Structure 1
Amino acid sequence: MSLRQFAVAVILALSPLADAANLEQPATDPVPGTDTVHGCYKSLGVLVLEQTIDFNSQGACTTLCRNKTNLVAATNAKDCYCGDKYPNKADLVDDSECTEPCPGFGTQACGGLDTYTVYNTGERVSVGEAPAASSSTSSASKTSTTSSNTPASTSDPTETVTASSEPEKGSGTNVAGIAAGVVVGVVAITAFGGAAFFWLRRKRNAEIEEEHRRNAAVNAFISGGGKPPSSSGGLSMTDSRLDPVMNRRMSDGSIADNQDYSRRILRVTNA
C-alpha cells in the first residue's frame, strides 16, 4: 500500500463520516508498481476466484494477484479474484454499492451485496476490459429461444421410428430369403438323392441281369454237352429236343414214320 493510500485510510478511519456508505474509495488513475482502486462493479467479467483470505484487504488481494503477474484484482468480503482484464464498463455501478468492510482492514470496502471492488495491481497501466455480459447473455437467450422453437423433438422421434422400422423390414426380407434358400436347397438335395438312388438301382438291376445271363450261358453250355450257345440269337432257355418240328426233320432223314417196320427188310449191298 502506498503512503498516500495509507494516509487516506487513516483519515477515513478517524473521520466520523467513515461509515458503510463511503467505504469505497474513488477510482484513481493506475500507477506502475502500486495498486489503485478502479471502481465498484456488479460483475467480475473474466476474473476468477484465486483464494479466500480470512484477513482480506486491498493490499492482501492485490499483492497475491501481483505475485502471479495478474493485471487486475477484485475483492468481495474474504474472496480474492485475479485476472488480466477489467470487467466491462457497462457493469460499473456507484461506489455506494460497495459497502462490505474488508475483514483485514475495516475502513476499506471489499465489494458489497453482489458487487466487487476492482483494483489495478500496478503491473501495467494500460489494461483492457472484458466483453459486455449483456451481449453474451442475449446471444445465449437467443440461442435458447431458437433451440426451444425448433421442432427438434418432433423430428427426432420420427427419425427414430423410421430408423427402427427399416431394420425390421430388412430383417423380414432376410428371413424370407433365407427360408427360400433353405427350401430350394432341400429340394435340390432331395432331387439329387432321388436321381442317384434310381441310377444306382438301375445299375444294380443291369448287373443282376448280366450276371443272370452269364449263369444261363454257363448252364446251357454244361447241359448242351459243351456246345456254346449261338451268340447271334442270344441265350435260349428252351430245349430243342422238345420242338416237334425239329423232331420231324430229324426223323425224315432216318426212319419213315409212315412205313411198317415190324417186318424185316433185306438190303443188297456191294461187298
Structure 2
Amino acid sequence: MMLTRFAFLSLLASAGAVDHIQQPKKSPVLNQVTSQGCFDSLPNETISGQNSTFNTVGTCADYCQEKNTEVALLQGKSCFCSHSYPPEDSQVDDDQCDGPCPGYPRDACGGKDAFSVYNLGVNLLPGYDDGENKGETAATSTASALTKSAATSTTHNASADAEKASATKSEQGSVSTAAVEEPSKVANSASDSVVPATPSPTTSTVPNNGALRFSNPIGNAVHLMRQFLE
C-alpha cells in the first residue's frame, strides 16, 4: 500500500515536471496565443515588460497586447514584449525552458538562460530579429515602391514644368519677333504707299514766251485793235 502511494506521488511529480516544459512550436493562429519555442536571447527591440509574482503566459500576453506588440517572452517573474521573435539561430531545445510560471506552475516561463516565446495571434508573421521577416519585407517593398513612385512623379512634374517654361519662353520670343517685324512691315507699307510728288511748275526758259502768241499777222491786228479801243 505504501509503495503504491509512493509510486502515485512520484507519477504526479513527474507529470508536474513535464507540464511546465515549454510547449512545442506551433503555427500561429489568429487571435490565439501559440508557443513559438524556447530561445536563449531576446530580440534587440524588446520593450521592458513587467515583473510579477503572478506571472503567467496569459497575463503576459494580455500585457503585451495592451502595448500593441505581437510577441510575448517570459522568464520567471519577468514578462517582455516585442514586435519580432529573437534571432532564429538563438532557438534552443524546449527542455531548456523548464522553469514554471509563478502564477501558474503548469506553464513554462523560460529557464535559467532561456525565454519562452509566444505569438499573440495579432501578426502571424512577425519575423525573426535577424531580418527573416516576410511581413517586414513586404512593408519595406511597399515603402520602396511608394518612394520610387513619388520620385518618378516628381521627375515627371519637373520635366513637365521645364517643358512648360520652354514653351512659354518660345511663345514670348515669337511675340517679341512679331512685335519687331510688325513696325517694319508698317514702315515698308507706308513707304510703298507714298504718292509720287507732283512736279512743281517751272519757269519757262523760252524768252518772250507770251510775245510769241502775237507773232502772226492776225495776232498783231487783234493787238492793235485792243490798243485802239482802250
Q: TM-score, normalised by structure 2?
A: 0.49
The structure with more radius of gyration: 1
